[in-house]
Structure 1
Amino acid sequence: MLKLYEHPVSSYAQKVKIALREKGLPFEVEVPEGLGSGRKDGPFVAANPRAEVPVLIDGAARLFDSTIILEYIEERWPDPPLLPRDPAARAFARITEDVCDTQYEAVNWGYGEVLWFRRADGALAERLKAEAARQTGLLQAWLEARLGEAPWFGGERFGWADAAAAPMVNRSVHYGLGPRPDSPLARWHVRLRERPSVAATFAEFDASVERRGDAAELYAKGLRQREYRDHRLEWLVKSGGIDVVLAGLRNRNIRFPWPEAS
């Protein structure tokens, strides 16, 4: 059986789980022991030296990076297809995914740094949350223009772009930053939540958030390290949160992707 190293809150892992469920593929999940602790041993790190989820194990295949995993799933189990056949439509779906994976995920992540992990307080926290809300609105407007009045981003069929956008928009809804009521994107989100593959994945997200406890305390004590990488780091810097990065370096509760600096 397929094995997926994941965390239910990870938008990237959610995207992969939605794809697996759309294909009707059975899989088992495991949250890696010590995820975020900086551990450099064990089967999870052996499969992905970046120590990031998701990681898909299929026999001898060890795959990481959610986009590469989606491509593998689509090529290995082509039916039902998530990507359309037309090259332009395929590119449309991949562009939608790329913006969701980089720009949108970074905004959600930055908002969570303040809300869940209390990386900032006072005026800085309010400024970062306001900037995240503003950028979320811009990203949702961009998605809405791509969706138009169609039921799904690919037209009449649920597909690749829907699986990619689903965790991002749903996280915004969780934060109270959802699409305008009764807008095309809000109606898409309602349809989305009724789809079995998505409903199961979102239920796992909700349950994990409910039982997460005081996650900020783990980072304050240096027991966990948040990964500040590429687009996430860029978001904090451009949005006025450079002091958050500097504090994380001083307190040794942030990390950067593999390979680490000496």
Structure 2
Amino acid sequence: MLLYEHPLSSYAQKVKIALREKGLAFTAELPVDFGTGRRDGPFAEANPRAEVPVLVDGAVTLFESTVILEYIEERWPEPPLLPSDPAARARARLTEDICDTQYEAVNWGYGEVLWFRRASGALAERLKARAARQTGELQAWLAERLGEAPWFGGSDFGWADAAAAPVVNRSIHYGLGPAAGSPLARWHARLRKRASVAETFAEFDAAAERMAAASEHYTTGGRRREYRDHRLEWMVRSGGVEVVLAGLRDGNIRFSWPHGD
């Protein structure tokens, strides 16, 4: 199998964790035209949105991380990532949805300031403070769902853990992690010892070290960061409208397909 991915993508990370939990062999590839908005080539043909991850399994090509996760679970049901109880399965999917939308947007917004320096001075501080407060709120929500159990599904690592792992780990990378010794912090410590997660996090760490040097590509127009749905909402309602307008003016942000031009 081929997985188009980027090691920093929370969506790609959860898919890699799932594949590794299932013991499935795959080749991870960073598309050469990732972030350029190109509309031709194998990557664009596989996903008109030009987003990662994309899974190519023989004649099957899939994009959208949740759809990919569902495909993996149904095609290779052992070991299961979803619990058997319908209510528990729904809770796992709900945790994933919050991590994929609200939580990912907060991390993304913080990264726009920290890594890509799209704001400075008072605006940068305001955006970072907003992200820090919301991170605490989201981690409290996750902590309540986790309780004192070792994993979000109870005694077994599963779907919700794979989804929450990348977003919580990125917060910790930003210095916005849960309180030391808290249940969520202990959960993260357990995560890091799990082979599927340790390998995925190591790839994240290596890519994060290179991000400062690569960030210029995303502010000079060589690469364009994607502003879509929950990300755009976060930036606008957090007071960063001028960041969006500057990106449109300078041509270093993009929106998703369909293009309409």
Shift of 1:8: 0.4
Aligned to 1:123: 122
Q: Specify the SS of the correspondent of 1:62.
A: strand
Partners of 1:142 and 1:261 lie apart in 2 by: 39
Aligned to 1:16: 15
Q: Specify the SS of the correspondent of 2:152.
A: coil
Q: Which amino acid aligns with 2:216?
A: E
Shift of 1:249: 0.6
Q: Which amino acid aligns with 2:100?
A: D
Q: How does 1:65-144 map to 2 (within 5 A)?
A: 65-144=64-143
Q: Specify the SS of the correspondent of 2:94.
A: helix
TM-score normalized by structure 1?
A: 0.98
Aligned to 1:192: 191
Q: How does 1:1-262 map to 2 (within 5 A)?
A: 2-262=1-261
Shift of 1:215: 2.8
Q: Which amino acid aligns with 1:191?
A: R
Shift of 1:37: 1.0
- How many residue pairs match? The answer is 261
Q: Specify the SS of the correspondent of 1:212.
A: helix
Structure 2 residue ranges without an equivalent (≥5) = none
The answer to whether the 8 A contact 2:115-2:211 is kept is no
Partners of 1:214 and 1:197 lie apart in 2 by: 28
Displacement over 6 Å in runs of 4+: none
TM-score normalized by structure 2?
A: 0.99
Q: Specify the SS of the correspondent of 2:11.
A: helix
Partners of 1:227 and 1:220 lie apart in 2 by: 12
Partners of 1:75 and 1:219 lie apart in 2 by: 37
Cα RMSD (Å): 0.7
Q: Which amino acid aligns with 2:192?
A: R
Shift of 1:219: 2.4
Structure 1 residue ranges without an equivalent (≥5) = none
Q: Which amino acid aligns with 1:198?
A: V
Shift of 1:261: 3.5
Shift of 1:222: 1.2
Q: Which amino acid aligns with 1:240?
A: G
Partners of 2:215 and 2:74 lie apart in 1 by: 40
Shift of 1:221: 1.7
Deviations 1:16-70 (A, max 9, x none): 0000000000101100012101111111110100000000000000000000000
The answer to whether the 8 A contact 2:227-2:255 is kept is yes
Partners of 2:181 and 2:211 lie apart in 1 by: 31
The answer to whether the 8 A contact 1:117-1:215 is kept is no
Partners of 1:135 and 1:212 lie apart in 2 by: 24
The answer to whether the 8 A contact 1:49-1:258 is kept is yes
Shift of 1:213: 4.0
The answer to whether the 8 A contact 2:225-2:254 is kept is yes
The answer to whether the 8 A contact 2:115-2:212 is kept is no
Partners of 1:219 and 1:79 lie apart in 2 by: 40
The answer to whether the 8 A contact 1:116-1:215 is kept is no
Deviations 1:185-208 (A, max 9, x none): 000000000000000000000011
Partners of 2:81 and 2:257 lie apart in 1 by: 31
Q: Which amino acid aligns with 2:176?
A: L
Identity of aligned residues (%): 77
